[in-house]
Every structure is written in structure tokens, then in C-alpha cells.
Chains A and B, each alone.
Chain A
Amino acid sequence: MRQKAHELLSSGAVGAVLAWEKGELPYDTSPAVFRDAEALDKMVYNGFCGSNLSKYLIEQGKQDEKVLVFLKPCDTYSLNQLLSENRVAREKLHIIGIGCKGKLDVEKLRTQGIKGITGIEENETLKIQTLYGDHELPREDVLLEKCLSCKGKDHKVYDELIGEDLSADTEQGDKYAKVAELEGQTPAERFAFWRGELSKCIRCNACRNTCPSCTCLKCVFDNAHSGVAAKVNATEFEENMFHIIRAFHVAGRCSDCGECSRVCPQGIPIHLLNRKFIKDISGFYGEFQAGETAELNSPLLCYDLEDAEPNIISKREGDN
């Protein structure tokens, strides 16, 4: 990856490289833009590069230059969605698809009591050195939530591929299991669940800012004229409404990349709201995955004579 980035930057084929940069700690990586070939030794790609780089292309794409971006298979769904909404111009991108074995969740390591990490060797079994001794544990025990419903190893949009042979399947769970459990509850139970979760929100906006579907030039929550802006703490329901409105805004556009829940400092399972929409949309209109192609083809935007009638929707199962 470094070699490729070096080549393209030095030759002037691209003006910037969008990748991950290592931080001070072994699990600390962050998205970064490299403009200088010399700085590329700071570039890193490891199990902690879970973050989705697609959204950064909106800002990067405004420059008058080509950008090299490294995308994991699941990140390409988000990019396709952005392409479909004219948020990024395809001709300004050089996309290198990279392999992925599933990314790691440092929070899961911490809950296993692993703290003070000084180094990690990534194999099927993770060997973790810490200030307090070494640990070994199976990789699948500490995968990110989004990797438990991996979309597969195929890149949906790319110019070239690197290391796709290094990809490995992760164990697939039923991504709708928790949604189905909530659907099985009474409205009062569901309400209590969501009040509990959403009331933890500190309105830091991390979920919105990282979401590759939340790309409005001016978000309604920042627009004084929208009628929903700047009402934090006006009532105890405001943060709840923020998440509900946001879920509606990304309905049919969310590719289920899971970034919202990954970045939430309060651990709110925000992705469940989106998954409920995804489950309903697929149920009513046929299996649909946002970002499968770069076409604007969400069932919520397309009308088909075979579409479910409203009376069917109101009689759906799982509603009490």
C-alpha cells in the first residue's frame, strides 16, 4: 500500500492519499490525508483500521486534483451511495480496494480486561502484549459489531485491488436478531428500551459527523430555520428525536456500515434504528442493499407497481 501510494504521489498522478495514520498507541489509528511521499511511513493498515474513509472524499473531492483512497470491501458500499447522490465525482478518485479479515474492537478487548496494550501480533489468534503481561485470544471474539454481519470480500467499486487474497471470512451472525427481538416486544417495552438508550446521548454529533449518509451541506440540526435545530435540552426528549429524525433521513440510504455505533462514546446501539429500516425496506420491497451499485435506486425513491400497498404495511407482522 505504501509503495502504491508512493508511486502515485511522486508521479503526480494523485495529489493526495487518503489512508490511516498510526497514533501513539498500537490500537490508535486515524484517517489521514498524505500529500507528501516522505510522510507515508506514518501510514498504517492493521486490525484497528475499522473506520470508513468514504465520507472524507466529499471534502477531498473539492480540490482540483485526484485522490488515492484505500477502501475495504464494506467501505465501497458507502462510496457507491455517495457517488449515486452526486456527493463525490468518480473521475477524481483512484480507488484501491484492499483485503480485510474483519476489524478489531478495542472496547471488546477492554471488557475482556486487557488494558495497557503495548503491542499486538495479528493472526487467527491475537497475541497481545500489555504492561501487565501477555494475552492470547481468538480474533473472532473481539471483532467490531459491523464485522459480525460482514458484507463479503467483494469491492463494489475500485480501480485496482491489493491483497484481496488476504481477506478472510468472518463468522456471520443474523444481523436482524436484535431488531427481531425488539419487534417482539410490546410498544411499552420498546419505548422503554429506546428511552434508556437514547437518553444516554450527550449530543456530541459524532454519529452524524461520521455517517457517510449524513452528508448535507447544512444539516437540519444546524439550520436555524428548520424548526428542529439547536433544541438540545429544550425537553428531555430532544436527543431522542435527534436520533429518530436522523434514522428517517438516512432510511433507504444507509448501507449499514455501523460507524454510528462504533464512534458513539456512550455506546448507544444507533445502528439498530437503521437496521430496522433496512429490514422493513427489504421486507416490503424486496432485498435491498444501499450502495450495491452507484445508481440512485433506493426503493423509497423508486416507484414500482408491485410495491407493497400501505394497508399491507400497516398490517405487518411483528407490530403489536
Chain B
Amino acid sequence: MLVCWCGSNIAGTVDINTVVEASKREPGVVYATDYQYMCAEGGQAMVRRAIEEHSLTGIVVSACSPRMHETTFRKAAAAAGLNPYMVEIANIREHCSWVHKDKEVGTEKAVVLMRAAIAKLNLNTPLFPGESGVIKRALVIGGGIAGIQTALDIADAGYEVDIVEKSPTIGGTMAQLDKTFPTLDCAACILTPKMVDAAQHDKITLYTYSEVDEVSGFVGNFSVKIRQKARCINSKLCNGCGDCIEKCPAKKAKSEFDEGLANRKAIYVPFAQAVPNVPVIDQTQCLKFKTGKCGLCEKVCLPKAINFEQQDEIIEKEYGVIIAATGFRPLSPERYGEYGYGQLPDVITSLEFERLMNAAGPTGGALLRRSNGEKPKSIVFIQCVGSRAEPDKGKSYCSKICCMYTAKHAMLVRDKYPNIDVSVFYIDVRTPGKNFDEFYRRAVEQYGVNYIKGMVGKIAEEDGRLRVQGSDLIEDTQIFVDADLVVLATAVEAQASARPLGTMLTASMDQNNFFSESHAKLRPVESPTAGIFLSGVCQGPKDIPETVAQAGAAAVKALGILSKDKLIGNPCIAGPDELLCNGCASCEKVCPYGAITYADKEINDHGHRTTRHVAEINEAICQGCGACTVTCPSGAMDLKGFTNRQIMAEVDAICR
């Protein structure tokens, strides 16, 4: 029994000596000691020495969460010649000292947890892991800047990468942006070359207008079904000339790329630099699909690439790793009646504003009011729309990018149109980041943007203008600002498709539907599910530099697996007791990895031979999740390292 103080982390709330002394009275314990930092080199040496000197057959380390240092202590045990699975961790930090203030209570619980770990260890047996191969190909889900960067980094290291992107082009939200903070270079200028790099890379395959339908398998060996939606265009034949788009008479669809501020044809490419430059037919808008007549595009297409009969195609491929890079959507502000978004045409979102300012946007870059097409004289920006809100009003988190892009918008307006008055309502201005605060101060000091600390309560139309009523917390008054355009800095929200995807990947999600990282500080780009990595905003709000940095980090972690020929498996896997197996196949049904099959077998039950339908485990596929063991009514399925008896022993020890 090795009890760790974790400095004062544990020792502050748990009386270490009581735990040590109590452990000496437990069955099987021959040696007990404590140390300030058991995970440090000195502590690990103590572990090795204790095993050697006392010929220990197992150790319990009462310390922090096994997620933190179980591997550390298993390695130390192995170095001293002990099977690493003869190590048990009693988590007396996260489960104990951190959640209790009262030392007496904390100590009592630490003793109980320690006792449970000993009870379990007494039933442990040495376990030996198997090996499995690695498929040397990565799947990146999402083709925005995060997905593109991750894919490029993996491909440059020499491994194959597929990008699955649900829209007809890669590029993501960044492609919609005008300029990027803090340097104000144009988004397209820095993004489109990367899009082209990805498309031309001989190691990268793009599946655009495609979605992931099904994922099975495990780290090193995922199999994925990709649904390539029917574009109604033969991509191999299309030369991207655009004649079809020119001739298409159905022009009433709202352009997704222009955030609905402009129309597009039924056959379209989202924007001029789209990759691949292959149009797609929107079947809900196309006259051929709606009425059976038309087919003009088919007539003008010289390479005969139009195919109205095209069906969704299912592509099945195998991957060693999967990287989620699903990005975000701006929250729709329609639910906030006070801003009148959706009713008042001159109240727009920041992303719509990006399109209005963009030279390739619906107005050719001219900043014009949506209501009457005139130039605005006054613009109000409102920050934290849906961010930092009460749980029932929006997102509780800070969306992180809005302060900076609002400062950017304000600065760009003042730069281009010095006569327009610009005000910004804010709760706080948050500008941590290299050159960020300098950027914001430039907006205030150099460009004369009027920052008002306070929130807006109401926007009403009056004589063709917008009357913005808000509070000025510094002056402690209610104020009115007349505006011609109001821009809402809407919260960053996880994609609606993120949670279902997370479920498919068996990756855990947080309460806001962002993918959870394995450890907030030490494993920020790894999902807790082995072989699943996180790139970009799908893990939480981020700006472009951070996204690119994380995308690269995710690539490195993915490469760490791809570059291996064999992965050491987890020996804690399930197995059936054939004498108890009823053959009901419930375990086969619940197994998320497809590791269980059934076969008719001759069973010899103490000389009584019968042929029965019984479960079999594929040990290379089983991930030890334990779903089968709790489903099996007769207890025939058991998980090595976490057997039913071990768990019962823990419970009994706790309840003793």
C-alpha cells in the first residue's frame, strides 16, 4: 500500500497516517508506506524498491485518478518485475480530497476507497495484452481550415488521408470571411491556396457533399461508411466550365455561402474558388426534379457530365485514426425578440456582415442597408449575443472570437467609410492573444470606435431607422443610439451533426455538444476514445491561429499511431463462460465493436455433452467496454481486470 500526499492536494484533507495504518489491517497487506509525490522519480523508485524488497505480488497506490498516473505506476511495477495489471489505484484525490473539506470525512472515505482497492487487488490475476495492426490511413471529418490543416500535415508526413465534407466544397466557415484579425489579410488569400494544396496532394482524397454514415471498429482498425450524396454530376467528366449554371432558369434558392443574402441557381458551385470546382444540383430547387421538364443544363453540358439519375453512393473504407473537425455554426439570434432579427432587415449577424463587406459578396463589397440599399450613416455592433448567457437564454460560455472580429468589423468600416459612426455594446472586451489587445486599442484610439459598456434591451424601427435602446454601465444611464444597421455578434454553436457523429465515434461530448478532450490540460486534442482526435472548433470556440495550431497538434497525435506497425492492446477484455451462456445473443446485440459472434458448439458440462449456441469473443476487436457483462442475465460474460467478482468485492468492502 503506497499512499501519496500529492503535496497538500491529498494530505491537506486526508490524514495520510490513518490511511497507512488502516491499510495494514487489511487482508493481504504486508507493507504500507507514504510519500509526498509518489509519481515523481523518488516515489517511483520507492514503488520499485518496495516490490523488490518485500517480494510483493500486487500493489495499491492510493493517489490521484487512474487516468492521471495508472500508466506511470504500471510501468514502475513492470520495471520491478511485477505484472502491470497487479496494480490498483485508489483515487483518494479527485474522488476524495478534492470533494471534501472536512478532514475527518475525507480520511474516512480515503480509508474506504483504499479498502475497496485492496479487496479488488486480492482477486486480480496477471494479464497479458495482445497486439493489433494499424491501417495506415486517416479520416478527417470536416473540410474547414481545421480539417484541411490536419489533412495536409498528415499527408505531408507521407500517410494517406481522406477528408469527408458535407457541403459541396471544402473551405468551411473561414471561406465565408472577409478579412482576418489581427493582421487583416483576406481570408480567401490565405485559405484558398491551402484548399488547392489539399485537392492536389497525392496523399489526400476529398469526399465533398458526403457524410459519415456508420463507424465501427477501434483504434488502428476503424471501418467507415461514407455516403457520397448524389451531386447529379459526374465529377470525372465535369470540366468546371459553368455553362450549366449560366443556363439554369431556377434562380430562387438562397445561397448558403452568402448566408441567404443572395440567390443562387438550382445547379451551383457555392463560390468561385470552390474545391472541387464541380457544381451540384439542388434537387429541391431543380425544375427537372420538381416538374420533370427543363434539363437545360444537360443540353448545354458538352462533356455530358449531368446525370439526373445519379444516386447516393456508399463508400466503405478502413482507417487507423479518425479526426473530428466539424467546426461550428453561428447561433441563430431569432430567439432573442429584443433584437428583432428576422423582422428588421437591417439587423444582421456578424457572418452576414462578413459577406456584405466581401468584394465577392452579394453587394460586391459595398456596405449597404438591407432595407433600402442605401449607405448607412451609423452602425451599432452588439457583442455577446447568446454567449455568456443564463443556461435557458443561450450559451453559458464565452465564444472567444467575437470581441476580436467585432473590433475588426468596426475598424474596417471606419477605415473604408470614415463618415459612418460606429458604436459597440459590450459586456467585457476580451483580447488575450498575440497582438490582439493592440488591435482592439487601434480600433478605439486610432479609428474612433465608440465602445459602450452595457447591453442592448430593445431595437425598434422608427422613421426608417433603428432605435437601439441600451444601458451605459459606466455612465449608469439608459441610452438611445440611432442606427441604420445593427450587427449581432452571435455565439459560436456546435454543429447539429456533432452529437450524432460523437455517438457514432463513441467519443464523449460536453453539455454544449462540443467534443470532450481527454484531459483539459495534458491531452487537449485527444478524445477519450483511442484513435479519435479533435481538430478546431468542434472541441470548443477558437480563432483561426488557435484552430490551425490545434489542427497540427491533432495531426501529430494521429501520426503517432499511424507510424506504428502494431498497437499494444488492452488485456482487459470480455470473455464468456460457456457453461453459463444461454445463447440469447443480447451481448452480440449491444457490443458496439462487433466483437461478439455466436456459434453452435459442443459443450462439455462435467461430462454432460450438449451442442449449444454460445457466444465467442474476437479478442482483437473487444475494447473492454463491459456493455456485454452488464447485459448478460446469467453473468456468463465477464471482463478481465474488472470481473463481476472483483466489483462485488469492492462493493462489499465499501459497505463493510
Contact = CB atoms under 8 A, between A and B. Distances in A.
Contacts of B584: 85-87, 296
B589 interface: yes
Interface residues of A, number: 23
Interface in A75-94: 85-87
Contacts of A228: 648
Given A217-B634, A227-B644, A301 B589 contact: yes
Interface of A: 85-87, 215-220, 223, 225-228, 249-250, 296, 298, 300-303, 305
A301 B586 contact: yes
Interface of B: 500, 503, 579-586, 589-590, 592, 613, 631, 633-635, 644-645, 648-649
Interface of chain A: mostly helix, strand, loop or mixed: loop
Contacts of B645: 225, 227
A85 B586 CA distance: 8
A277 B649 CA distance: 28
Contact of B589 (A87, A225, A302, A305): A302
Q: Which of B503, B584, B589, B590 has most chain A Cβ within 10 Å?
A: B584
Contact of A301 (B503, B579, B590, B613): B590
A226 B644 contact: yes
A255 to B, nearest CB: 15
B580 A305 contact: no
Q: Which of A218, A249, A302 has most chain B Cβ within 10 Å?
A: A218
A225 B577 CA distance: 12
A298 B648 CA distance: 27
Given A86-B584, A216-B634, A217-B580, 8 more contacts: A85-B586, A86-B585, A216-B633, A220-B634, A226-B644, A249-B633, A302-B589, A303-B590
A216 B648 contact: no
B582 A216 contact: yes
Contacts of B590: 301, 303
Nearest to B603: A217
A227 B648 contact: yes
A219 B635 CA distance: 9
Q: Which of B585, B592, B635, B644 has most chain A Cβ within 10 Å?
A: B635
A238 to B, nearest CB: 13
A217 B582 contact: yes
B189 to A, nearest CB: 40
Contacts of A301: 586, 589-590, 631
Nearest to A215: B582
A247 to B, nearest CB: 12
A305 B586 contact: no
27 contacts: A85-B582, A85-B584, A85-B585, A86-B583, A86-B584, A216-B580, A216-B633, A216-B634, A217-B580, A217-B634, A218-B579, A218-B580, A218-B634, A220-B635, A223-B580, A223-B635, A226-B635, A227-B648, A249-B633, A250-B633, A296-B584, A296-B589, A298-B586, A300-B631, A301-B589, A303-B590, A303-B592
A305 B649 CA distance: 35
A220 B638 CA distance: 13
Contact of B582 (A87, A225, A298, A300): A87
A189 B355 CA distance: 62
A57 to B, nearest CB: 15
